[in-house]
Structure 1
């Protein structure tokens, strides 16, 4: 902004007549800001830069040479304040430059040579005497480092992401203090009672915990101060009720308040508990100290024995006899004591039992500014955010429409003025009319009406220009593409003819109708293209073309696709020999029942065949005894009128076939059998069945 302001002043000094107008031109000011950003980047690598803006204002160009030393003088006040954030960061971290090992350069200004020089000088001057020099490191992407680090820190703090662990613990720059005071003045308490506790000083690590304990018998009011300003108030009601109620006979409770500094730097009260001490008497069974009694007895016995021995040595036998008698008496006493100590004894003791009462915590924000939003306020804020998002989407849509309109104006102007094809397919009047419309639309873009226009209005403006320009650009495109069509047509026709010849010679299974269809498609295209080419030759270039290059390419593509389809038709060979001879062999088994695999199949079928609980052999064995047809069995069935007429029909129509195959075989016998002979008919039928099988 400093460079842009200096360049604005230079333009005003150079063009006094435009000095007042350029200040109100948003477009001109934006151009200055954009060029100033580019000049800053250039000066970071070079000592000089040419600040140039074409048509800055009122079609007036602006250009001026800028040196790096000059820009550094302009920004001297900004550079002088560079050390303030470094010192603040060191204070918050509670460290000095002597504790720093490395320095990493990040941020948008780290490429500026003056910033690097000032930082190096500052680090060298502030380091302790004899400490190694700190070099400015550039190991990460300075433009993205802060955003990347914040993203990783947020992901590590969340339970929904699994990313690389970043061992970083943030600290709070604020100091938090807890103030406690009586909530209800009517409850008994010491006059003027109040206490203040610093819970989290500045620089405390996030997720820290703190417990505050006070001995009171009344309800409390707790206030959290952030840097001396109240931010939240809690009411701890229920302490006095417990003191005068259930625990009236107990001493004043100890109130424990637990506070957390969460990962977002917000102080939360996790719990509040009143703890009462109650004296409780309990009876305990005490086991006898068996080892101690034995040791005592032994020591006593040994001492008595030693004393008796001494007396015996001095006084003679009489004293020795007395000592022996005394020793026997002690043994008897120890035996009695050992018998009584074998059972545990009861001891009454007094213990202190903790009675805990959970105190409800009510969070209040009365008199706190700024305060958190209530539920209704959060809902309204969400609604406002939705409206703002919709507004932002509309703004993006408007910007896109404005950019599209502006780009179309510049592109169309270049095409009409510089493109030869556009000039050939348009008249001078058409180009003049379109140029005027483009100029008027460009001027409109910088008016207040255009800045306040919505996306629909901008799209409508674009559509009106397209109605004028698109026909000319379309004719120019067709004029440019038309010369390349004959070569493309020849290639496709040659491919189709070669494919048809190959299919006819090598793919005889392809039906002739398929080949004729592709050939007719080619002939129709040749005829169509000849007609439209003749029509196009009679038209002026400024008229709409008789055909389009896209239409020709679509027809050629269809011809090529149909020719390719012929080459993909497969030949279907149907070899009947693999299905066996007349005697069977379905599925490639051509030897019928003689084939081992077919024989195994039939045998397995007969083994597994079941009919009403019987196997296949039982069923065929009882076949002749079946009495389902009038109770006469199959023998009676053969004697029926129906079967008699069948035999007569077979004898008449199949006699020639039987004679041709010889006199042998059951078929001849069956045909010559007397219809009235039931047994013979059955036998003949059986013989015929065998012959057919």
Structure 2
């Protein structure tokens, strides 16, 4: 698995298709990274222009609210604002995580009779929503505001961070939730790995053949993890490349800032009830309970920097304003029993890595929980003399590290390699029943349970595909994937995983009996079934394929050869895992698929897809049969159709101990979210129309009090506007309901705007038309002076011919009559009268006049000297004539440049000099 370092855009498509994003999916907050052409690497800002977004969703009356807007409603509607859901993914009501969640959030309404009883569901507005569906909504909202921030139409590719202790089924359930949100999940990456990757990427040049070890200690809102990684250069095909290997991890999935806040909240409630003695308990009022929780979170942050502080809650309970003093010493006593747990993840990570603390080169703290002084004190004591580093942007390191990985995995960027190997915590075994046959009669005489280890604990992933061969089955069968003994986890950690450890996947394989029916024992020999597995870069166990293997028989000699080969070849025990040879060199699954010719496979008849929840089917493989025909006219016996040696079997995966949304669930939630989005779009349009009408009606009220507006209004218009404003404002206050359609708002707004638009138009004309008329008058007078040039000069010496001057004079006189009519109208009209012309009419006259002047100037005669026109003293050559001559000369020069240059005569040279 590679991680990126240096970006080179390969911009073969649009920005939206090349863009990729990452989601640091924290319990309380999200941080979103974005990479696209033009934005190489950045943290996306949400709609409130913040770099982190609360991980909450509120559903009320069919409308969803997210992020800060939902947090603002949490005190009023604590039972409707849902957050802290990460640890409920893929869980059931019987799981320990649900019991802990219920104790921390007593006011949520649980739906204990959902369509799938293995999932945790909440009742909101009469509807039932699974944890995965609510998570998908949060992810979809992040997708939406990131697309707006990046200014692209759609972003599909995403890398999402997960806690290191997430089991394969939890990861798969989260991947399905992301698919509900419209994402293509490139990878699920452990948050500690992403943070360490961010550190390694920026210090790539410092990595050498000597191992360098880093420990990342992360205490978030709900969990605490410690991750030990090792950086070093390793030999690749052609050169040495940096490699990051996860050596060990430790965690406590219930230790975090939420637990500290809840203890402080309960203590504040206890102090309040003792001090103010309310009639009822605070925990009976969910709104008061939420107020104390909000203040406890604020107080915890303040006490991290101050020795004491006051908790102040206005109208905390029963209209009592609370003011309670709290010291850091008291807070430390509240979390005293938690302090031994602060260092346990560090010790567990060291045990798994099998190294002492002295071998750790660098140590860094992350997460809001590590800002608590007591946490820092215990951690420092655990690591001894090691210095706590300050070299990492702990707030955004996880998002940035996963963002590098997103750039590497997306199609739009080429990056420098950075190998990463993850540590596998949960070993995976395959369980199946082997049928025992009698050696002489080949009849089945018994069965035995077989257990084989596929992926061992503390191995690394992503893995090469592992294949098992099953030779005793002749009918459809089932196998089971289960977790092996997890020796690196404590008893408490195993209890927290709960029933997820019971069974991983029940794999049902069908189509074998049909494949055998289509074969005769004389034509081919059944060699068994091969089932292939792998753990991908996301830590998810995948059942790649199941195939029935056949070998064609080739007569007596072929049978003898086959028998001898079997005698001298090494036999593999049934179910013994082997690494696929085709993939051992690092080829991925897609390349293997391509190398297998379609004609070499056969598809058994497929039944209709099952709608059973928590069930998934493998992709169906379509094979093709080839027939050969003779090209000669002689009758030849047709060749018998050759059956392919590989038959793809059908796989159905079932998850008995967890809720994993299947394809039906994903499609159903997609449809529901599309319906939500459309309903919210219409609601937003209605709200915008109502707000605009309310604002404009108030604006109209102000207009009616301003003389600058009323002077341009007729009595009828003024009366109509006053009545409309009064009626609309009363309607808005008394009659508008949630069911009021958008059209009523837009119709009333149009009524007001029609009146105001007419008056505003008069105001604008009153300001602009006099200025335009002044410009027209100036141009007209200037142009009239041109028509008088040459009146007292011989016609031969005049610049313009008489007929040209007379023609222009006629047009100017006509324009002058129009101008006088306009002036008369302007002098007699009142402010509230409409203009019988517009500013566009005046602009049109000015353009027409300019065109006439241009045509007139082009008709000017060529002259030798200006003195000939000036010698009798009767004609004064003013600035206007000079400009006209300059323009005519410029046009002649332009025409000359476009033609081939010819030698100038002496007369031409003399005339240019004089001009």
The two structures have a TM-score, normalised by structure 1, of 0.46
Bigger proportion of residues as strand:
2
Bigger proportion of residues as helix:
1
